[in-house]
Structure 1
Amino acid sequence: MIYLLSAEGRRALRSVASQRVLYAFDFDGTLAPLSPNRHGVKIPRSVSEWLKELAKRAPCAIVSGRSVADLTPRVAGTVPYLIGNHGIEGPAADAQLARTAERICAEWKGHMTTQLAEAFRTLSIDVEDKRYSLTLHFRDAAEPAKVQLAILGLVQQLTPAPRIITGKWSVNLLPPGHATKGSATLALTKQLKRDGLFFVGDDETDESVFSLKTGIIMGVRVGRAAESHAKFYVKHQSEVEEVLRFLVHRMDRTPEAAEEDDRKPNAPREAANDL
């Protein structure tokens, strides 16, 4: 993987900024820092301000495992496009598929509150109902690896068998055959008639975007991971703000002015960092 804020990474990012791209970002762990309290997660003000500036210059989307209803107040209009529930919700979503997903999730939850209730209590599993998908949280587990393994065994009892995406201290259950973050984001890219997709994400739930065979111009993972399909990475979530700032500044400059700035040895510190 290539560090995005290295000289090589910045050259690649300059190229992206000159193209007709949809800029898409995961929410938790990417735009917003991870938190033990998932209800209190929000985008830092400085990140939100730079994201808003980017959205004035190019189409931007947030792609999350959270529901759109959950995302909307947290985003507060910063970007125009929201994709939720790992791709089941979004501007290009299929309404019939969403209704089917809602029915299946209700059946799964019923099974969890009856046949699986005692096992879930013993493991201290918190079931988050996102209407079109379910997330089983176990952040407080003393031995998270063992709890995750137990969950993967228990959910085999569900019918139809769920599509499983593991996350940080969670297991996501999606109805089979439904959209992914990757397919939903690519569909939005095409709907907006953009030439490609730029995407930043931070964990396994984002790999369906990174692994797209076509359409993705740059995939960036928060935290280096050898097994990821993303070609680029940033070291930690706080560097996402610098990426946003870089993109905004590049879009506001002509190629000639940018080249001239690149040659200035005594440029101010902030300008040097942005280039």
Structure 2
Amino acid sequence: MSAPLNNIEDFEGFGREVVGRRLSGRRLPGRRLSLFLDFDGTLAPIAETPALAELPPGSREVLKRLSSIYPVAVISGRGLADIREKVGLTNITYGANHGMTIRSAPPETASKGFEMDYDIGADKLEELKAAAKVLREVEARYEGVLVEDKGATLSLHYRRLEAGQIEALMKELDSELGTFKERGLLRVTGGKKVIELRPAVDWNKGRAVEWILGQEPFASTCPVYIGDDETDRDGFRAVRGIGVSVYVGAEDKDVSYHMEQSSVVGFLRWLIEFGAR
């Protein structure tokens, strides 16, 4: 089972393990870490609507300092412009739309930057447009439902929906999205008061992490992936055996550590001090 990561004693234990243990049969190159961070529910507390989510006070400066020591990537289901605006930093890498759109921090030279746009195919884009129309119709029938169209992915949020209406919404979505599921061009997944529609492609947050780890300055680092939702489990699997997975939530058998959301920024502050030792 996962170990807790919520206070300075836990953080120091993490440091001892990362420096001392062997991963994939090799000793880590010193303390050379890289950070892969989810946004909603990890860097920022879950909000009633995506627009209301904000970094806690002081977090932006912590991320800025952190990225001067370690390579840092924010891997989010949000669109690229949205996640860039929410984080508000240019010196980190962004993996938007569950990693289907990747942009590195601005390079010092042209040879050091990288970017990637996963080609999901015209047929799946058309399917997403059709699904967006259906979701908008559902949205209009339920006060408290919010649909986000991010181009390459769709999200239906129902955090503000009255509890007594959730069962009816789920039944309606199951009916309305049945045809899309049968055609197999889209993948429908659940999360924390959200339904996600993504292209049925061999790409996710985990594949994005693997791809980024092939680029400088992430190559040859020990990746630390921190996330809180179902889509982050692909990221946890990607770093298994070569890095460290941290679940923001309760104890979990599939990750290295677990922590409370309120402990995330404290851990990142500790990593800054750890990197300066």
TM-score, normalisation: structure 1: 0.79
Output the CA distance in 2 between the equivalents of 1:242 and 1:20. Answer: 20
CA contact under 8 A between 2:11 and 2:270: conserved in structure 1?
no
Q: How does 1:102-181 map to 2 (within 5 A)?
A: 102-112=125-135, 117=137, 119-124=138-143, 125-143=145-163, 146=167, 147-148=169-170, 150-158=172-180, 159-181=183-205
Structure 2 CA distance for aligned equivalents of residues 56 and 100 of structure 1: 41
Alignment partner of 1:238: what SS? helix
In structure 2, C-alpha distance between the alignment counterparts of 1:106 and 1:231, rounded to whole Å:
39
**Secondary structure of the corresponding residue to residue 68 of structure 2:** helix
**Counterparts of 1:41 and 1:213 in 2: how far apart (Å)?**
27
The whole-number CA distance in structure 2 between the counterparts of 1:149 and 1:197 is 40
> Quick one: which amino acid aligns to residue 230 of structure 1?
V
Residue 93 (structure 1) aligned to one of 103, 106, 116: 116
- In the alignment, the residues of structure 2 paired with residue 100 and residue 69 of structure 1 have an alpha-carbon distance, to the nearest angstrom, of 24
Q: CA deviation at 1:140?
A: 2.0
Which sits farther off after the overlay, 86-95 or 174-183?
Answer: 86-95
| Kept after mapping to 2: 8 A contact 1:22/1:194 | no
Distance 2:251 2:177 in 1: 27
Taking a change above 3 Å as real, the CA distance of residues 216 and 105 of structure 1, as seen in their structure-2 partners, is: farther
Tell me how far 1:245 sits from its aligned partner. Answer: 1.0
**Inter-partner Cα distance in structure 1 for 2:230 and 2:208:** 16
CA deviation after TM superposition for structure 1 residue 12, in Å: 2.4
Determine if the alignment matches structure 1 residue 27 to structure 2 residue 19.
Answer: no
Residue-by-residue CA offset, 1:190-211 (whole Å, 9 max, x unaligned): 2121333101111212111112
Gap runs ≥5 in structure 1: 254-275
Residue 238, structure 1, aligned to residue 257, structure 2: no
Q: Deviations over 1:183-230 (max 9, x none)?
A: 10121012121333101111212111112365641111111154x622
Quote how far apart the aligned CAs of 1:120 are.
4.6
Deviation of 1:54 after TM superposition, in Å, equals 0.8
**Cα distance change of structure 1 residues 112 and 223 upon mapping to structure 2, 3 Å threshold:** closer
Query: Which one is further off, 166-175 or 71-80?
Result: 71-80
Aligned residue number for residue 83 of structure 1 = 95
Paired with 1:99 and 1:13, the residues of 2 have a C-alpha distance of 46
Distance 1:216 1:164, change over 3 A: farther
Q: How many residues align?
A: 247
Partner of 2:254: 229
Which secondary structure state, in structure 2, belongs to the residue aligned with residue 96 of structure 1? coil
The answer to whether the 8 Å contact 1:210/1:219 transfers is yes
- What is the match of residue 59 of structure 2? 47
More helix by share: 1
Contact 1:68 1:89 in 2 (8 A): yes
Q: Does 1:205 align with 2:231?
A: yes
Query: Of 192, 210, 215, which residue of structure 2 is paired with 1:191?
Result: 215
